[in-house]
A and B are shown apart, each in its own frame.
Chain A
Amino acid sequence: EPEVTQTPSHQVTQMGQEVILRCVPISNHLYFYWYRQILGQKVEFLVSFYNNEISEKSEIFDDQFSVERPDGSNFTLKIRSTKLEDSAMYFCASSEGLRGPNYEQYFGPGTRLTVT
């Protein structure tokens, strides 16, 4: 069964450093997403991406964040200058479409980001 993969599984970084989180969505999916989940809290939408551009972003997704699809398979989330409050689990997801069952999103296993 196809699945979304993410690397690394755990990233530790110092405050102020840049991090890049990587995702490989399911191959025939066209829509890609990043979410974060702070420990003990709910899953929060960050950004959606379609046709090589951002479709929608939340208020969390400020200028410190960027996304990119550098090639035909990878989808990355970059945090330019990490803060302590960026510590969270970051999930990548993908979906085939935007209507009905095609909007079903499949999640990767997540990257746990720890900012010290």
Chain B
Amino acid sequence: RKEVEQDPGPFNVPEGATVAFNCTYSNSASQSFFWYRQDCRKEPKLLMSVYSSGNEDGRFTAQLNRASQYISLLIRDSKLSDSATYLCVMHTGGFKTIFGAGTRLFVKA
């Protein structure tokens, strides 16, 4: 089983839609979780950290479910500029970071 699994998509949604991504992980020792976005041929950019209590940043909401070992990202009121690949990222408390393969999102006008 892969350490981090994401639905590769692509998700094709109209502007204004709500879209949700999930990411599952296999290592129960994983401690810190993040969502990054990556535009084509660019560096990953931090979107938000993910906390057990859930956290929200504007149109973005992230949740962590340790019992089921998954994290989620909800994007409300999608914009054209949200089109990107969304990367689920975690580390196990050591110095190693594990990236998911990413979920591609296309927001259409």
Q: How many residues of B contact A (CB 8 A)?
A: 22
Is there contact, CB below 8 Å, between A105 and B45?
Answer: no
A-B pairs with beta carbons under 8 A, tally: 55
Known: A56-B94, A101-B49, A104-B34. A109 touches B99 (CB 8 A): no
Is there contact, CB below 8 Å, between B100 and A42?
Answer: yes
CB of B96 within 8 Å of the partner chain: yes
Known: A104-B46, A105-B46, A110-B43. A98 touches B95 (CB 8 A): yes
CB of B91 within 8 Å of the partner chain: yes
B43, B91, B93, B99: residue with the most chain A Cβ atoms closer than 10 Å: B43
User: A residues 2-52 with Cβ under 8 Å of B?
Assistant: 31, 33, 35, 41-45, 48, 50
Contacts of A41 in B (CB 8 A): 101
Contacts of A42 in B (CB 8 A): 87, 99-102
Contacts of A50 in B (CB 8 A): 95
Known: A42-B101, A103-B32. A56 touches B96 (CB 8 A): yes
CA gap between A100 and B43 in the complex, in Å: 21
Bits for B83-95, please: 1 = Cβ < 8 Å to A, else 0.
0000100010111
How far, in Å, is A64 (CB) from chain B's closest CB? Answer: 19
How far, in Å, is B34 (CB) from chain A's closest CB? Answer: 7
Contacts of A31 in B (CB 8 A): 95
CA gap between A89 and B34 in the complex, in Å: 21
Contacts of B91 in A (CB 8 A): 103
Known: A104-B34, A107-B43. A43 touches B99 (CB 8 A): yes
B42, B46, B97: residue with the most chain A Cβ atoms closer than 10 Å: B97
Q: Which B residues form the contact surface with A (CB < 8 A)? A: 32, 34, 38, 41-46, 49, 87, 91, 93-102
**A-B contacts, 16 listed (Cβ < 8 Å):** A42-B99, A42-B101, A45-B96, A48-B95, A48-B97, A55-B94, A98-B95, A101-B49, A104-B46, A104-B49, A105-B97, A106-B46, A107-B43, A107-B44, A109-B42, A110-B42
